[in-house]
Amino acid sequence: MNGKGKVLVVGKTRLILASNSPRRLDVLHQLGLNPVVRSPAVDEAYIPGESPAAYVERLARAKAEVVAEKEPDALVIGGDTIVVSENRLLGKPADEDAAVEILISLAGRKHQVLTGLAISGQDGTVSAVSGTEVRLRSFTEAEARRYVMSGEPMDKAGAYAIQGLGAALVAEIVGDYYTVMGFPVGTFLDLLLQSGWRYEFGSLSQTN
């Protein structure tokens, strides 16, 4: 079964999204897939010396695997997204002032968005990282504060949402739009194949 309102079940395998991100769920719905959503409890502390790519991939794997341990018959998707600017990792803002500060630091400059994606199933876990370069247009602190007052930036890495009101802040992207949203579709399809599954335009089937 598939489609919004129905949980995707292939044979005895359920599809689970180990993420609270409504953006990731939106993309899966766009693909005609409707997973069960589970909230993964993982330690997101940064390990000193860890590269941004290694960090975001480790978290994606951890989220998928912690849910897969409790759902051994499921195909579990985990994901994590970070913004990297001048070698600084920018996560979700702690408060409105922090969101404004992050946005001002990004205004008129290029930064990188990294999304780690992992799929965990009976045959183990596969994962990858997708990166996209984004340049925000120049804007004033007053503009940044007005955007922050919308509430949209508060649960977003880098304090903006390219698929929402934050699109008005974006001047240019070089790479995959869905990476910036937090769910790179091409990477997902590649990982599915590595996991022994194939996407068939609204459903999944096993390749073996």
CB atoms within 10 A of CB 151: 11
Closest CA to 38 of 22, 23, 18, 24: 18
80 is catalytic: yes
Token pair, residue 41, equals 């409890």
d(CA 17, CA 78): 6
Spot the catalytic one: 73, 80, 95, 176. 80
Q: What angle do CA 129, 188, 128 make, to 5 degrees?
A: 20
Q: What angle do CA 117, 122, 125 make, to 5 degrees?
A: 25
* Catalytic residue annotation: 80
